Structure 1
Amino acid sequence: MQEDIVILDGGMSRELERLGAPFRQPEWSALALIETPDIVGRVHAEFIESGAEVITTNNYAVVPFHLGEERFAADGRSLIELSGRLARTAAARRKGVRVAGCVPPVFGSYLPQDFDPVQAPALLGEIVAGLAPYADLWLLETMSSIEEMEAAAKVSSAAAKPLWVSYTLEDDDPDPSAARLRSGEAVPAAVEAAVAAGAEAVLFNCSAPEVMETGLRQAAATVPDGVRIGVYANAFTKPADERPANDGIEEIRHDLDPDTYVRWARRWQALGATVIGGCCGIGCRHIEALSRGLKAPGQSS
């Protein structure tokens, strides 16, 4: 396993804030694209220097949910393309670094009940078309339901690239033996749907580290040979049901320092995870620790 680990980058938003980019709701990380795109490029470069082998385009919040419908209609496509160019430029500076084109939940994080199958294809189509010239693979991030994932996978297939699907799990699942998506759907069914959609990797992101092991166990028992599994957890202090999604700037846990996060990652690795990185609140120092702690000296994937 050690030789096969792929290190993802971490969460963009707090690193943007650390370097001085504007950061607030409702625009979230999209605000940096609008006002300080140079800092977006710097964060990508710092993640690469820290050991990230896959960096993700910074368009997660370039959706009407965050920008508003008028601003998205006017500027969305250009901002999406900018996010792709910035990531591609950063990746080009180091051999082997890949760009994951972010395909986010277009109606807000953790809100499967708000998914609109009629409006989704057009919004997703803008994202895929804008990122297609720059991305090496598609990363469907923070998918809260099978329906949301399937819609994103269908639109992404218009620009053929490797497909990675990442689901977000309930932070406070009452059954510790069976993880569930934010929609309440069971992980095995979600994994099967992702594989049927063509996923080469099935990941779990933007949930607490404590819930990831159950999801990984179920995924490992479900995926066929050749499909990777992995994790990039967040560092929020409260589970999602105790904080409205996308409403204010959440506090970050102080107990998830880089060494602690690596200890979690080693447990995920032991369960078969071969793609590991970080989500909200997991920064460059964490990624550097992952790169040192999980990969053999001189190893790259």
Structure 2
Amino acid sequence: MTAADAAARAGAPSPARPDPIADWLAAAPRLVLDGALATELERRGADLNDPLWSARVLLEQPGLIRQVHLDYFRAGADVATTASYQASFEGFARRGLSHQAAADLMRRAVTLAAEAREQFMQEPAAAGRRRPLVAASVGPYGAMRADGSEYRGDYGLDEGALMAFHRPRLQVLATAGADLLACETIPCLAEARALARLMDELPAGSTRSGWISFSCRDGAHTSQGEPFGDCVAALDGFPGIAAIGVNCTAPQHIAPLVAAARARTAKPIVVYPNAGEAWDAVAKRWLPHAPGVHPPAFAEQARAWEAAGARLVGGCCRTGPADISALLRR
């Protein structure tokens, strides 16, 4: 029996659920997230041509992950998002890893971010900075499939089946020492609800709150095609969800999505779009902008997102420490 269960049976109030996002925003106008991890690792020479994607680097080059986290802190990020997006028991099992070995790698992802934070806090650049947060990344079911379905949805699974998939990995990540959970690139409401319900299952003393961010196909719909505002409203009552928003979506769609979310919830809005290029899920590569197309700088576009009401802002695929630094400078 958990402490929360015991308190409920005794008629006592449940233990308070820590909310590091609310604590941060009570003292600051915004929370600056980091940028991409996987594409930044790739830019630094890591081979991500693998169904495990960035989780492969947990196995082969953990020190490189730690260095990327450190560089984001140095660039001004207040949050490090761990290299556990693609980490799942099913994915690691296909590589011949046991359940215990897979769980240890998920914990390693959190440890690497925490080690980078400790190193940063000893540096002169940390003077006057609040202690950054570590967010344990929880990728969608589609990330395990490694077929781009996190940008389509329509898995053919109901909410209960999605809970069964996420439950064991969420239980590991929630007890690994992260400050919050980052449930990200979620293509559909069913998966978002599954994760929200699982947060409410987690015992007191574990990491029980965080954000849920959707992948979206345009300025009004999730990747599966559901009205984004309706999805936000459906999540509004879950106590574990400390912020709701969108990530890994084209930057030009972000401002209207923020406005739609702001109209349906009082929770903080989180946004971290990609750099604006299109992803070819078949060829597994980013497509360059069309000739003559020169979108505004990432940091400049972020002005519109904040003006629309976003309070947690960062970057996703193809963004890097320079983008986060530019976002801070503006």
Q: Same fold (TM over 0.5)?
A: yes
Which residue of the other structure, out of 107, 111, 116, is the alignment partner of 2:142? 107
> Is 1:248–2:284 an aligned residue pair?
yes
Task: Tell me how far apart the structure 1 counterparts of residues 247 and 213 of structure 2 sit (CA, whole Å).
Answer: 6
What's the counterpart of residue 19 of structure 2? none
Which residue of the other structure, out of 200, 214, 217, is the alignment partner of 1:167? 214
What's the counterpart of residue 78 of structure 1? 104
What's the counterpart of residue 316 of structure 2? 279
Q: Could you list the per-position Cα deviations for residues 131-178 of structure 1 after superposition, in whole angstroms to 9, with x for gaps in the alignment?
A: 22321011110111111011112223314533211111114xxxx6xx
Could you say what secondary structure the match of 2:134 adopts?
A: strand
What's the counterpart of residue 186 of structure 1? 227
Could you say what secondary structure the match of 2:314 adopts?
A: strand
Q: CA deviation at 1:128?
A: 2.0
Cα distance change, pair 160–222 in 1 and its aligned pair in 2 (3 A): same
Give the conservation status (yes or no) of the 8 Å contact 1:121–1:151.
yes
Which residue of the other structure, out of 86, 94, 112, is the alignment partner of 1:61? 86
Could you say what secondary structure the match of 1:274 adopts?
A: strand
Letter in 2 for 1:143: I
The two structures have a TM-score, normalised by structure 1, of 0.84
Task: Tell me how far apart the structure 2 counterparts of residues 10 and 206 of structure 1 sit (CA, whole Å).
Answer: 11
Could you say what secondary structure the match of 1:92 adopts?
A: helix
Where relative contact order (Cα < 8 A, 6+ residues apart) is larger, the structure is: 1
> Is 1:15–2:52 an aligned residue pair?
no
What's the counterpart of residue 303 of structure 2? 266
Q: CA deviation at 1:69?
A: 4.2
What's the counterpart of residue 288 of structure 1? 325
> Is 1:127–2:151 an aligned residue pair?
no
What's the counterpart of residue 270 of structure 2? 230
What's the counterpart of residue 217 of structure 1? 259
Q: CA deviation at 1:127?
A: 2.1
Q: Could you list the per-position Cα deviations for residues 237-288 of structure 1 after superposition, in whole angstroms to 9, with x for gaps in the alignment?
A: 22x6xx327x52324659789x711111001111111110000101110011
The two structures have a TM-score, normalised by structure 2, of 0.77
What's the counterpart of residue 90 of structure 1? 116
Letter in 2 for 1:139: A
What's the counterpart of residue 137 of structure 1? 180
Q: Could you list the per-position Cα deviations for residues 76-135 of structure 1 after superposition, in whole angstroms to 9, with x for gaps in the alignment?
A: 212111101111111233351001111110233224211534543343223223222321
Q: CA deviation at 1:47?
A: 0.5
Letter in 2 for 1:79: L
Task: Tell me how far apart the structure 1 counterparts of residues 289 and 325 of structure 2 sit (CA, whole Å).
Answer: 19
Letter in 1 for 2:139: P
Give the conservation status (yes or no) of the 8 Å contact 2:268–2:311.
yes
- Cα-Cα RMSD: 2.6
Letter in 2 for 1:283: G
Please identify the structure whose Cα radius of gyration is greater: 2
Could you say what secondary structure the match of 1:79 adopts?
A: helix
Cα distance change, pair 253–7 in 1 and its aligned pair in 2 (3 A): farther
Give the conservation status (yes or no) of the 8 Å contact 1:235–1:252.
no
Q: Could you list the per-position Cα deviations for residues 174-214 of structure 1 after superposition, in whole angstroms to 9, with x for gaps in the alignment?
A: xx6xx011121111211112212232211210110011111
Unaligned stretches of 5+ residues in structure 1: 294-301
> Is 1:52–2:89 an aligned residue pair?
no
Identity of aligned residues (%): 28
